[in-house]
A and B are shown apart, each in its own frame.
Chain A
Amino acid sequence: MAFLKVDNVSIRGIAACVPSSIEENRDLPFYASPEEAEQVISATGIERRHICPDGTTTSDLCFKAAEELINKLGWEKDSIDLLAYCTQDPDYLNHPTSFVVHDRLGLPNTCMCIDFYHGCPGWVNSLSSVSSMISASGLRRAVLMVGDMCSHDAGKANREERPLFGDSGTATALEYDDNAKPILFNIITKSADGMALARKNGGWRAPFTLDTLKADIDRREGLVPAAETTDKMDVFAFAITTVPKTLKQLCANFYIDLESIDKLVLHQANAMMLKTIAKRLKIEMDIVPLSLKEYGNTTGASVPLTIVSECADEYQNAPQKTLACGFGTGLACAGVYFETSHIVCPHILEY
Chain B
Amino acid sequence: MDLNEFIANFADQFEDTDSSEITAATEFKNLDEWSSLIALSVIAMVDEEYDVTLKGDDIRGSVTVMDLYNIVKSRS
Looking at the complex, which of A143-151, A165-173, A235-243 is the stretch in contact with chain B?
A235-243
- Contacts of B25-68 to chain A: CB distance below 8 A: 36-37, 39-41, 43-44, 47-48, 53-57, 59-60
For chains A and B in complex, what number of residue pairs have CB atoms within 8 angstroms?
A: 39
Q: Is the interface of B mostly helix, strand, loop or mixed?
A: helix
Q: Mark A268-286, 1 if CB is under 8 A from B, else 0.
A: 0000110010001000000
State in angstroms the CA–CA spacing of A11 and B19 once bound together. Answer: 50
Residues of A within 8 A of B53 (CB): 237, 241
A234 at the interface (CB under 8 A from B): yes
Taking CB atoms, residues of chain B closer than 8 Å to A233 are 36, 39, 43, 55-56, 59-60
Interface of A: prevailing SS: helix
- Bound form: Cα–Cα A233–B41 in Å: 12
Q: How many residues of A contact B (CB 8 A)?
A: 13
> With A and B bound together, what is the CA distance between A234 and B40 in angstroms?
10
Interface string of A247-278 (1 = CB under 8 A from B): 00000000000000000000000001100100
Indicate whether A232 reaches chain B with its CB closer than 8 angstroms.
yes
A54 within 8 A of B: no
Q: A43 — nearest CB in chain B belongs to which residue?
A: B36
Contact indicator A240/B40 (Cβ below 8 Å): yes
CA A43 to CA B60, docked complex, whole Å: 20
- Shortest distance from the beta carbon of A40 to any chain B beta carbon, whole Å: 12
Residues of B within 8 Å of A234, CB to CB, are 55-56
Task: Check if A272 sits within 8 Å of B37, measured CB to CB.
Answer: yes
* Beta-carbon contact of A276 and B44 below 8 Å: yes
Q: Residues of A contacting B55 with CB < 8 Å?
A: 231, 233-234, 237
Given A231-B56, A241-B53, answer yes or no on A272-B44 (Cβ-Cβ < 8 Å): no
Once bound together, how far apart are the Cα atoms of A241 and B36, in whole Å? 16
- A241 to B49: give the CA distance in the assembly, Å: 12
The chain B residue with its CB closest to the CB of A245 is B47
A278 to chain B, nearest CB (A): 12
Closest-CB distance, A164 to chain B (whole angstroms): 15
- Residues of chain B lying within 8 A (CB to CB) of residue A231: 55-57
Contacts of A232 in B (CB 8 A): 56
Contacts of B41 in A (CB 8 A): 276
Give Cα A175 to B59, complex, Å.
48
| Distance A241 CA – B57 CA, assembled complex (angstroms) | 16
Please give me the residue from chain B that is nearest to A280 by CB atom.
B44
What 0/1 readout, one digit per residue, does chain A (10-29) give for beta carbons within 8 Å of chain B? 00000000000000000000
Q: Which of A232, A234, A241 is the most central at the interface, judged by chain B CB atoms within 10 Å of its CB?
A: A241
CA distance A237 to B53 in the complex (A): 8
**B48 partner, pick from A43, A237, A273, A280, beta carbons under 8 A:** A280
Q: How far is the CB of A237 from chain B (nearest CB, A)?
A: 5
Task: Give the most central of A43, A232, A233, A280: most B CB within 10 Å.
Answer: A233
Q: Are A237 and B37 in contact (CB under 8 A)?
A: no
Which of A1-57 touch B at CB < 8 Å? 43
Q: Verify B59–A241 contact, CB threshold 8 A.
A: no
Q: Which residues of B contact A (CB under 8 A)?
A: 36-37, 39-41, 43-44, 47-48, 53-57, 59-60
A to B CB contacts below 8 Å, 15 in the list: A231-B55, A233-B39, A233-B43, A234-B56, A236-B43, A237-B43, A237-B55, A237-B56, A240-B40, A240-B44, A240-B47, A241-B43, A241-B53, A272-B37, A276-B41
A233-B55, A276-B41 given; name 20 further pairs at CB < 8 Å: A43-B36, A231-B56, A231-B57, A232-B56, A233-B36, A233-B39, A233-B43, A233-B59, A234-B55, A236-B43, A237-B47, A237-B53, A237-B54, A240-B40, A240-B43, A240-B44, A241-B47, A272-B40, A273-B40, A280-B48
